[in-house]
Structure 1
Amino acid sequence: MTAVQAGISTREAEVLALLGEHLSNAEIAARLFISVRTVETHVSSMLRKLDAPDRRALAQLAVEWGRAARGGDVTLGLPAPVTSFVGRAQERAALAAAVTTHRQVSAVGPGGVGKTRLALAVAGDVAPEFPDGVWFVDLVPITDAAMVGATVAAAVGVGEQQGRGIDDTVISALADRRALLVLDNCEQVRDGVAPFLERLLAGAPKLTVLATSRARLMVPFERVHPIPPMSLTGDDDSDAVALFLDRAAAVGSPVAAEQREQVAEICRGLDGVALAIELAAARLPMLGLDGLSGVLADQLRVLTGGARADDRHRSVRAMLDWSVALLDPADRTLLHRIAVFVAPFTVDAAAQVGGATMDGLARLTEQSLLSATPAPGGMRYRTLATIRQYGLEQLAASGELDGVRAEQLRWCLAIAAGLAQDPKPGAGPWRARFDDVADDMRAVLGWAVTAADHRADAYALAVALANLAFTRNLIGEAQQRYEQAAALTDDPYAAGAALRQAAAVAGCRMRGDDMYRLYYAAAETARSVGDDAGTARDLATAAATVYRFSGTFAELPPAGEAAALLAEAQELAGDDPAASAAVALAECGVFSDTAEADLPEAVKRAERAVDLARTSGDPLAHSAALDALAAVQCWAGDTFATAASSRQRVDLLAKVPATPAAALERTNALSEAAESSVGVGDLAAARRWGEQLRDLPLLAERGDFATSRLLLADALAGNAEGVLAACGRFRDAWGLSGGLHTPTLATAAAAVAMIHGLRGDETARAEWLGVVDELDVAPELKAGYNAVFDAIVLLHEGRADEAFALLATEPDEMSEWAIWVWRHWYLAVRAEAAALSGQPDARDQIAAARPIVAGNSIASAHLDRAEALLDNDSSRVLAAAAAFEAAGSRYQRARTLVLAGGDHAKQGVAALADLGLAPSTP
């Protein structure tokens, strides 16, 4: 079958192709400039059209179709070579054999010898052996060893996920793939590559890695494969000569047959180093063979035996010395200065940092010392790694390196300021602009932190890069940069601000331990300058973190530690509004964990926290206090008040500027607003908040959390199509996250299991109930929603006695966190089960539930339907069906028609079938 035969649209085909590259929905959306929701719609459509069970099957199908279209070739993530590959037939075959035999092969040799070109050629040769993909990762731009995993992730198309580091995300993504990863230029970040590779190869047993490096990586799986210079045997028909002849012809200077011996002599003088040969051939139109021979002989004689380089590098340095010596002084200076760029750069960037002109860059490009590539924003230039390293050495030797780096630092700060002022931060064009300069920002920051005279600018760039990285959704790097900024400034107030930002980002990453550590560090910074109010605020916030975000801690602090922090904060707060609000919030959490807690006092404390937060004028503090109030209202069983407080949080945060702290609050508020709306039977609002939660950029790579509230709303409405479309993303994302254990995810998984039960698919239902068990939520915390979902399935199947038995426990006897927003549903479904199973007190149960659920249109319709069935009043049963439809509960409306009997039952069965659900037993 082809895409056309399957009815796949052009846009769907584009999405399918990117699925074959194992890109996330967020990355596909960015690539195609469409929304994440649109991508999800296309994926759902293709699952139906192609009868595919899940996203992984679609990705495999994309690979197979692509392979068929190319006559069986595997899709390669390899850069297209701009020149032909010449010679090295034996080395190419030997390296290919090594790659197909060993887990990790290191192609080791001196700079300029041709390791990269040979690795690319071999990767293309062996690609059919790796059906899950071949990727090329260029490590040249990387100067920070900690960024190796992030660079691999970018090449593979894996985004960072909350709750885990980028290295772990990459390992999970490649865990079961038979793929080839080509890591180029490992030597400069060997300390980062080696530990990353060791973990990657242990966690991805089917993966093969081909690395190029100037030295072995010293990892357990490594098979070292030396790459020698090009063959010089055979004189004028050697591989080295063949390369020179090919490149000379390419620049319009073909060599006559009688001159090949002279070419062989030049190649021998260059020791067969591929880069040197290519540069020499490029000079042929200007110098001729005689000129090349003369310059080469002179330069080699000067360098031979010197202490400037070891034997491995001597030939490359010689080549670079004589090549650069041919330039005029202005071009030579320019070549050295632009060596500070680690990523492709524009004319404007080179002008600001190195004083470049278009003509100067053009001359260097003509001399093969730069490569030029057309790009949307104009031509971009890049230096080869060896030439860049050479240029940096020359700058250092002349004493100019710090000055040029300082110019680059000023340029980076200006670029960062421009990105920060962009009216559409995070959008596709913005992302491209950031990605173009990010590596240079990182590199110059690495220099600036060691330059005492530029410490202030280093701090400013670290903060700017942290802000930009957060906007780019690189939240792991954002936290790292904020912490780096805190360590770079001597201003305790600036350090404290950076630490608080880092703490908020840690919260966005679901790293509660880091949040706690960083808020405590901020408190210590405030304490160092005698800022009692600031110390109190940060200590109290650290204490509150233990309770508000307890589910994100790998290990909670020792018992009593948070209370001790709060006690100290209470002593220091004084009458400072912000500190008082933070202390009041922490008191809500600490108090709820004490044995003497009682409901009236808890309400009083929460209301006081809200008043103080409102007075402080900080909307984020106000939102956090409303969160505490909603928790107390839930504890008190006031579901409507809980929903109102949660909605108030969402409204409050709607216009708050986007910061890490605001993103954390907004994520939490939307999640709780969606769930509490379910609690009061407002499925439309629940779906609205769920959609907003799903579309948050912060959750682009956390499809489990992002879709959890939407799955819940759709399941209760009977929207099986929506649930089936989203549950695959949920499960895949949860697996990639490392299997985080949170009640929110367990509720969503149980809702999916319910839908499969209503579809009559017991196998799928059992699988999803297994996911609920894997989430490892304490039984007492899932008793409420589990009983509701299971009872709905039992009632659908006509097993009312079993449903009633399942709901026997009184809500007041359950944990407040178990009954949470489920009180109305629990009471309504239980009363209906009592009526349908003929319980003698059924009418009493219906009457007792009415005042509690009054205002909840769905729960009230349940009670109306149950009472109408007891009275055998078909008109009231049909009125309940209308009430369910008005409330957006299409499933309950269809089931009510079945319960009404007669012709209405036929309509109900048809309605259930339209929903993709099995017939209901009256």
Structure 2
Amino acid sequence: MSAREAEVLAAVAEHLNNAEIAGRLFISVRTVESHVSSLLRKLQVEHRRELIALAPAVLTSSTPPASASAASEAVSALPSPLTSFVGRDSEALALAQAVAGHRLVTVVGPGGIGKTRLALRVAHELRERFEDGVAFVDLVTVTESAAVPAAVASALRLGESQDRTAEQVIAGWLSNRTMLLVLDNCEHLLDAVGVLLEQVLTTCPSVRVLATSRSRLLLPFEQTYAVPGLSLEAAEGRLPDAVELFVSRAAGAGAVVAPADLDRVAALCQGLDGMALAIELAAARLPAVGLDGLEAGLADRLALLEGGRRVNDRHRSLRSALDWSHALLSEPERALLRRISVVAGPFSAQAAAEMLMDWAPVESDGVPALLARLADESLLVPTTTPLGTRYGVLETIRQYGAAQLEAADEVDLARSRHLQWCVAAAERLGEPVMDGDEGVWWRLAYDEVSVEARHTLPWACRRADERDASYRLSLLMARLSLTRGRPGESQRRYELAATLAPDDAASAAAYREAAGAADARQFGNEAIRLRELAADAALRAGDRTGACIDLARAAELVGRGPGIMAVPPPPSEVERLLGRARPLADGNLTAESRILTADAFARDVEDPQVRSHAQRALELARRAGDLLAESAALDLLTAAQLAAGELGEALQSAVRRTELLRTVPINADSALEFFDTYQMASQCALAAGDLPRARRVGEGLLTLPFYREEYHLATSRLIVVGLVAGTWDEAMQQATQFRTGWERAGRPLQGNVRTAPYAAAAICGLRGDDAGRTDWMSVVSALETPVRLGPVPGRLGRDPGAPFGRFFDALVLLHRGRIDETLDLLAEPPEGLSGDAGGLWRAWYASAWAEAAALADHPEAGEWVRRAELATLGNPIAQAVVQRASGLLKERADGPGGGHEVLTAAAATLHSLGASYQHARTLVMLGGEDAEDGRATLTAMGAAEMTWPPV
């Protein structure tokens, strides 16, 4: 019994007459009569009523139901892929869930993304859920809308009817069936497909449709699923989908990808936007051109990825796949697609309208509709952002658009319009806003313009007719980049502006700002180079005073900032620069002040002339009203005061600098002063034992806009304060930010921030985490800049014995009870620590030195404690630790309890000053209930068990 006969028999069992059966099955009455006669003969009965009686048994046992036969035929029509399906597990699950929840699901995406393969996989997986099977209809060969119903009817194996349309035949046949209908490649027949599906889904309640299209069908009951590029995220035990596809197809082409090359393959797949067709074509080319050739060919992927002969010519190459989409567009849509190929990142409808204003055939007020249409065609990717809807373009489609733009001879005009838009957009950003929601929006708007500026400037700079616009855009983006927290980009933009400037005066100004941006990012060698370039340009412009100040500031930085010099300048550099500067001063007060400051910074800080130069430079700067020059002179005075052990005076000078800068705008010119002022004030407060002030002023670094992405510079002082104060959890969080920022900045050599990772290493040591300590010490080593050793000119080396490092290591050794090692480490008496660095750490060093002597019962412990009392003047925390050491000596001299009163007083002082770690350590030394409290505090801090008494 045939499938049609089974259908007729089932209808007879329902007591339908021949006309009714013909209407249901969309066949003629004569055909029904023929089938009924055949059934009577085959079942050997004479009357219709006997057929009705036999039908249930026959249909359930003797012959497969008609629906099952139909299902079998439909399933057999699903194409079988010629290659294995790779990955897409999460996408297949999501699409299957969409089909389960919606009656019409349209799979959308650009050509070659893998829509058909994904739909077929899901159809195969779901076929058992549909009683009447799955039917597949490929519309790629259908070129006329009127032919769509006939194509679908043919795929369903339905014949024609004289008195019914094809749509009615299809809807009637599907009306009582539970089926999944897969319509592939609908993009060029949207209207016709929409009409048919609306009729089918309205009249066939158990039918679901899975369509693939580069455009949405725009039906009210449609659910769309956008196919993303193949994933580059590796699942556990598996390669990323994109890489797995490449490896699989390469193997099919006879090439083996070595494990060592998988990262290169991943980068290649990312460059191909994860587009399945592009990856398959690239893998097929691997035997011919190798990975090197594929990587080089990414710049022109449309030419590189030409496939071989394929059954479906549309997918023979990327270009042919995109040609298919392009042919479906209107002329305004084509013009828009090719012209926006000059845009680098996601853009708004307003931006596109501004760039294409009055440029036929695109009309500005019609741009939003055109963009929506291109998005519907999967040629643009719309996303919702805090700034509104933005349209992105896959790189493959961008290259296709660029080729069309060149063919239309519109490249220069499109790029020029793009450049003009960048200038206008940068100007609209206005004064930066950093705080609150408005600050978030400003930064996002900046980021959009920055991407476009970065893309257009290389082209614009080569065009003589675009020089002025390029200069303006470079200056604008340089200023905005610094405020955005990207001093490296700011420096590059200012340097570019200097080369594009209309005259030498403008060039000098731009080089000056570039030097300031280099200061901000702590690239001292770059700053010196750029200041000298500024001086040269200023001299060409006849600005002797400006050149003098530039040269003096370059000379000043040589002595003032050795910690930001990856390569120390030669010893003669200061005199060379000042030799050029002095004849140009011409009595200018700022110039004279800067020359004095530079000269003094090049001297030994304990040289008496340093202080006199500082006082004279201060006087000149104040008379000139130059706050930055005054701040630089105060920094010089602070260094002299620290070297002399005048901690209170040094702190006052440092605080005075913070007050001066309150009225100074934060920009490239002032960047170095702001950083140095906050970090120096924090260090001086720490040296003076004022932890709250050290933290408060150190937090000032976090407010500097140019350190929003330079975390290692913004958090550097707070980590040290956290070590001493005992706020270790917070300090280690900041240390993580420090390391992230430093690595993102390219791991620069910046010795001036070595204290931060060293403090993190000490915290790890105090917590018993030796692996962590070793890891952080590797960062310390990587940050260390070369220093000059002794009087031998040009002799460079490392400074492993910095006072802060010996103090931090001593904290760990004392905590672990390793007293003899501590004494060896602190063999140099505190009086031997010289210079401003010695002055910053002398009190802390002396406190550990005295404690080690007391714990070791050193023969000269009493004398060391007395010397430490003098060395810690001005730092009450260090003084309390020395007091504790004297109490320990009294315990030894007078017996248990003899030093209890002294230790108790030291503990109270340390508690009041916020020195949590040292306070807890003192409680442990007191013993009894105090010791229990101290150990509980140390445990809460995460400290390893304190060895007490020392072994």
- TM-score, normalisation: structure 1: 0.65
The one-letter code sitting in structure 1 at the alignment partner of 2:266 is L
Secondary structure class of the residue paired with 1:375? strand
Is 1:349 equivalent to 2:351 in the alignment? Answer: yes
**Structure 2 equivalent of residue 573 of structure 1:** 585
2:878 to 825, 837, 859: 859
Choose from 893, 902, 907 the match for 1:876. 902
Deviates more, 1:908-917 or 1:121-130: 121-130
Once residues 415 and 435 of structure 1 are traced to their aligned partners in structure 2, the CA distance between those partners, rounded to angstroms, is: 11
Structure 1, gaps ≥5 residues long:
1-66, 74-78, 93-115, 137-173, 188-206, 218-223, 244-266, 284-322
Alpha-carbon contact 1:562-1:590 (below 8 Å) kept: yes
- Per the alignment, do residues 761 and 85 of structure 1 end up closer, same or farther by CA in structure 2, a change over 3 Å counting? closer
Aligned counterpart, 1:375 = 384
1:736-775 alignment, distance < 5 Å: 739-769=747-777, 771-773=779-781, 775=783
1:385 alignment counterpart? 398
C-alpha displacement at 1:419, in angstroms?
0.8
Instruction: Identify if the C-alpha distance between structure 1 residues 524 and 769 changes in structure 2 by more than 3 Å, giving closer, same or farther.
Output: closer
Deviation, 1:421, is 2.7
Find out whether 1:902 has 2:928 as its counterpart.
yes
Equivalent in 651, 675, 678 of residue 670 of structure 1: 678
Q: 2:549 matched to 1:555? A: no
Q: 2:305 aligns with which of 205, 221, 227?
A: 227
In the alignment, what sits opposite 1:358?
A: 365
Aligned residue number for residue 452 of structure 2: 440
CA distance in 2, matches of 1:646, 1:457: 43
Q: Name the CA distance, whole Å, in 2 between partners of 1:475 and 1:539.
A: 22
Distance 2:867 2:262 in 1: 55
**Matched-pair contact (CA < 8 Å) for 1:620–1:662:** yes
For 1:180, which of 266, 272, 275 is the aligned residue?
A: 266
1:893: which partner in 2?
919
Q: What does residue 295 of structure 1 align with?
A: none
Q: C-alpha separation between the residues in 1 aligned to 2:412 and 2:774?
A: 65
Match of 2:815 in 1: 796
Relative to structure 1, the CA distance from residue 585 to residue 177 in structure 2 (aligned partners, 3 Å threshold; closer, same or farther) is farther
Contact 1:131 1:179 in 2 (8 A): no
Local SS of the residue matching 1:863: helix
880-889 or 831-840, which deviates more: 831-840
Taking a change above 3 Å as real, the CA distance of residues 644 and 379 of structure 1, as seen in their structure-2 partners, is same
Which 5+ residue runs of structure 2 have no aligned equivalent? 1-87, 95-106, 122-213, 216-226, 244-259, 274-290, 358-362, 786-796, 891-897
TM-score, length of structure 2 as denominator length: 0.63
In structure 2, the residue matched to 1:784 is 803
Matched, 1:846 2:862: no
* Aligned residue identity for 2:485: N
Provide the C-alpha distance between the structure 2 equivalents of 1:374 and 1:215, rounded to a whole number of angstroms. Answer: 26
**Cα distance, 1:821 vs. partner?**
0.8
- 1:483 maps to 495
Distance 1:557 1:909, change over 3 A: closer
Q: Kindly provide the amino acid, as one letter, of the partner of residue 569 in structure 2.
A: P
Assess, with a 3 A threshold, how the Cα gap between structure 1 residues 729 and 210 changes in structure 2: closer, same or farther.
farther
The aligned counterpart of 1:21 is none
Q: Distance in 1 between matches of 2:758 and 2:298?
A: 53
The CA distance in 1 between the partners of 2:495 and 2:768, in whole Å, is 52
In structure 2, relative to structure 1, the CA distance for the partners of 1:127 and 1:352 (3 Å cut) is same
Q: Residue 728 of structure 2 corresponds to which residue in structure 1?
A: 720
1:129: Cα distance to partner?
8.9
Query: In 2 relative to 1, CA 82–427 (structure 1 residues): closer, same or farther, beyond 3 Å?
Result: farther
Q: Shift of the alpha carbon at 1:525?
A: 0.7
- In 2, are the aligned partners of 1:369 and 1:387 still within 8 Å (CA)? no
8 A contact 2:854–2:861 mirrored in 1: yes
Q: Which residue of 2 aligns with 1:276?
A: 323
Task: Measure, in 1, the Cα distance between the counterparts of 2:777 and 2:434.
Answer: 42
Partner-residue secondary structure (3-state), 1:373 = strand
**Which is higher, the Rg of structure 1 or of structure 2?**
2
Matched, 1:709 2:717: yes
Query: Which of residues 429, 437, 443 is equivalent to 1:419?
Result: 429
Q: CA deviation at 1:774?
A: 5.2
Supply the distance in 1 between the matched residues of 2:242 and 2:639 (Cα, whole angstroms): 48
Contact 1:610–1:622 (8 Å) recurs in 2: yes
Q: Name the count of aligned residue pairs.
A: 679
Q: What is the distance in 2 between the residues matched to 1:791 and 1:705?
A: 26
SS at match of 2:603: helix
Residue identity matched to 1:854: L
Match of 2:839 among 820, 826, 851: 820
Change in 2 beyond 3 A, CA 1:588/1:347: same
| Residue type at the aligned position of 2:716 | S
Cα 1:752–1:391 change in 2 (3 A) is closer
Q: What's the counterpart of residue 633 of structure 2?
A: 625
Write the letter of the residue equivalent to 1:874. H
Query: Which letter does structure 2 place at the counterpart of 1:812?
Result: E
1:875-922 Cα deviation digits (max 9, x unpaired): 332121110011111111112122222332232222222222223413
C-alpha separation between the residues in 1 aligned to 2:489 and 2:537? 22
Report Cα offsets for 1:279-309 as digits up to 9, x if no partner.
Answer: 33x36xxxxxxxxxxxxxxxxxxxxxxxxxx
Amino acid at match of 1:276: D
Distance 2:467 2:672 in 1: 30
SS at match of 2:914: coil
Matched, 1:913 2:920: no
Shift of 1:275: 1.4
User: What is the Cα deviation at residue 180 of structure 1?
Assistant: 1.8
Cα pair distance change 1:498/1:354, threshold 3 Å = same
Confirm whether residue 473 of structure 1 aligns to residue 485 of structure 2: yes
Cα–Cα, structure 1 residues 695 and 471, in superposed 2: closer, same or farther, change >3 Å? Answer: closer
Q: Tell me how far apart the structure 2 counterparts of residues 829 and 431 of structure 1 sit (CA, whole Å).
A: 47
Deviations 1:4-49 (A, max 9, x none): xxxxxxxxxxxxxxxxxxxxxxxxxxxxxxxxxxxxxxxxxxxxxx
1:257 equivalent in structure 2: none
Residue 353 of structure 1 contacts residue 408 of structure 1 at CA under 8 Å; is this kept in 2?
Answer: yes
Q: Give the match for residue 302 of structure 1.
A: none
Does structure 1 retain, via aligned residues, the 8 Å contact 2:346–2:392?
Answer: yes
- Letter matched to residue 413 of structure 1: V
Whole-angstrom CA distance in 1 between matches of 2:838 and 2:587: 38
1:598–1:805 distance in 2 versus 1, CA, 3 Å:
closer
Cα distance in structure 1, aligned partners of 2:485 and 2:368: 34
Whole-Å Cα distance in 2 between the matches of residues 71 and 446 of structure 1?
43
8 Å contact from structure 2 (residues 313, 320) kept in 1: no
Q: State how far apart, in whole Å, the 1-side matches of 2:412 and 2:429 are.
A: 25
Displacement of 1:648 after TM fit?
Answer: 2.6
Whole-Å separation in 2 of the counterparts to 1:765 and 1:126: 32
Q: Which one scores higher on RCO, CA 8 angstroms, separation ≥ 6?
A: 1
Structure 1 residue 604 displacement after superposition: 0.7
Query: CA deviation digits over 1:817-856, x for unaligned, max 9?
Result: 5523111112233233333433454444434443543342
Distance (Å, rounded) in 1 between the aligned partners of 2:838 and 2:341: 64
* CA displacement at 1:789 relative to structure 2: 2.7
Q: How does 1:109-124 map to 2 (within 5 A)?
A: 123-124=230-231
Alpha carbons of 1:133 and 1:894: their partners in 2 closer, same or farther (altered >3 Å)? farther
Q: Report percent identity of matched pairs.
A: 34
Give the conservation status (yes or no) of the 8 Å contact 1:180–1:208. Answer: no
Q: Is the 8 A contact 1:536 1:579 kept in 2?
A: yes
Is the counterpart of residue 602 in structure 1 residue 610 in structure 2?
yes
Q: Using the TM superposition, name which of 448-457 and 912-921 deviates more.
A: 448-457
Amino acid at match of 1:274: A
Q: Is the 8 A contact 2:516 2:668 kept in 1?
A: yes
Task: Give the 3 Å change call, closer, same or farther, for CA 449–767 of structure 1 in structure 2.
Answer: closer
